[in-house]
Amino acid sequence: MQIFFSGTKPTGEHTHLGNYFGAIKQFVDLQNGENRTNIYFIANYHALTTERDGTKLVTNTWNILREYIAYGIDPKKSIIFIQSDVPEHTELAWIFNCLTPFGLLERAHAYKDALSKGKEASAGLFAYPVLMAADILIYQSTHVPVGKDQKQHVEIARDIAEKFNHYYGETFVLPQAVIMEETATVTGIDGEKMSKSYHNTISPFEDEKSLVKKIMSLKTDSKGIDEPKDLAGNIIYQYLELVGDEHLCKQVKERFLKGGMGYGEAKKLLAQAMLDYFAPMRKKYHMITQTDLENIVKEGAIQAKVIARRTIDTVRNKVGIV
């Protein structure tokens, strides 16, 4: 039995193109495979490592959940829940904390990044990968669909599973990251990796005016309309490949390479293609009620808890917690 498990941290108002094409699109597509359990959650305890505004965290949690459903994660095919509704995750994280070597966490990118930027790193940020390992391992997950930036975290989860199995006997399955090569790292509007913390995101659910404005402001070189243009590093074309249909991509590619396609025209085509691609999801977003969301996560937490409880009972037994 394959168990697909993954999640998103509700640190911003919306998910962005990187979240969708790197991870969430996979959640939606993978739901249709046979003989598997799909579990997708909102990692609100992880968001606490950076979010200091409680009201915002609540709003963001429901927003991201609404977007999950609007994107097509289907409560009939997947277990969908909020991390804090299954406190077994944090219990397992503590047990893992007690056997995770300090050095393993010191090598984690997020922690190293925070240190190098002179940011104050909390114990929570340091132990972030341990809670993530607990999220994954508590469901005996076999596959974890994520973007490339989470690869190291999944590797740490494997290390922790191996450590536990070594001390207490075979208990945890070793999970593997599932990363889509073409969308492993989606670029942001400034050319860096798209990330909420870099303020360089485009969200499929943001206000139409702001979305179009961001696309029309994408930085390009100064080549004139008739000049041939490169596709490498061409952010307009990169985004078009994500949302445009084959015919449009081919046409734009040919005209970029030959000359005759100005950046302004290409941006307009891209903005329209992006709005078209996300139109059904944007429409669905507004049709989902708060009650729908509450019912989905209530049911999801019940189902998740059954699996999580089973693992925690085994673990408690093995480690000697009565």
Contact 14, 67 (CB under 8 A): yes
Q: Can you tell me the distance from the alpha carbon of 124 to that of 84, in angstroms, rounded to the nearest whole number?
A: 15
Instruction: CB nearer to ligand TYM: give 8 or 234.
Output: 8
Q: What are φ and ψ of residue 145, in 5° steps? A: -70, 120
Give the interface segment with ligand TYM, choosing from 160-168, 179-187, 218-226, 228-236 (CB under 6 A): 179-187
Instruction: CB nearer to ligand TYM: give 193 or 223.
Output: 193
Residue listed under structure tokens 């459903």: 69
Tell me whether residue 65 is exposed, middle or buried, using C-beta atoms within 10 angstroms of its C-beta: 0 to 12, 13 to 18, 19 or more.
buried
Q: Is 149 in the site for ligand TYM (CB under 6 A)?
A: yes
Total residues contacting ligand TYM by CB under 6 A comes to 25
Q: Nearest distance from residue 132's CB to ligand TYM, in Å?
A: 4
Give the interface segment with ligand TYM, choosing from 65-73, 190-198, 230-238, 290-298 (CB under 6 A): 190-198
Instruction: CB nearer to ligand TYM: give 113 or 254.
Output: 113
Residues 29-88 that bind ligand TYM (CB under 6 A): 43, 46
Q: Nearest distance from residue 264's CB to ligand TYM, in Å?
A: 26
Q: Is 6 in the site for ligand TYM (CB under 6 A)?
A: yes
Q: Is 158 in the site for ligand TYM (CB under 6 A)?
A: no
Checking DSSP bridges between strand 143-145 and strand 36-42, what pairing results, if any?
unpaired
Q: Can you tell me the distance from the alpha carbon of 90 to that of 131, in angstroms, rounded to the nearest whole number?
A: 7
Instruction: CB nearer to ligand TYM: give 23 or 218.
Output: 23
Instruction: CB nearer to ligand TYM: give 28 or 43.
Output: 43
Residues 9-38 that bind ligand TYM (CB under 6 A): 9, 18-19, 22-23
Helix residue ranges per DSSP H, the chain: 17-19, 25-30, 44-47, 54-71, 88-97, 102-106, 109-116, 123-126, 128-137, 151-168, 208-216, 235-243, 246-258, 263-287, 290-319
Q: Nearest distance from residue 247's CB to ligand TYM, in Å?
A: 26
Residue listed under structure tokens 């609404």: 66
Q: Tell me which of 73, 156, 186, 235 binds ligand TYM, using CB under 6 A.
A: 186
For the sheet with 36-42, list strands across it.
78-82, 36-42, 2-8, 143-145, 176-178
Q: Nearest distance from residue 44's CB to ligand TYM, in Å?
A: 10
Amino acid at 185: T
What x-and-dash track marks residues 109-148 binding ligand TYM by CB under 6 A?
-----------------------x--xx-------x-xx-
Instruction: Give the pair of three-digit tokens for residue 126.
Output: 């340091």
Instruction: CB nearer to ligand TYM: give 185 or 220.
Output: 185
DSSP string, 47-103: HTTT---HHHHHHHHHHHHHHHHHHT--TTTEEEEEGGG-THHHHHHHHHHTTS-HH
Q: Nearest distance from residue 185's CB to ligand TYM, in Å?
A: 5
Give the max Cα distance, the chain: 75
Instruction: CB nearer to ligand TYM: give 173 or 223.
Output: 173
Q: Tell me which of 194, 202, 266, 293 binds ligand TYM, using CB under 6 A.
A: 194
Residue 7: count of CB within 10 angstroms of its CB: 26
Return the DSSP state at 187.
Answer: B
Q: Where do contacts with ligand TYM occur on this chain (CB under 6 A)?
A: 6-9, 18-19, 22-23, 43, 46, 132, 135-136, 144, 146-147, 149-150, 153, 183, 185-186, 193-195
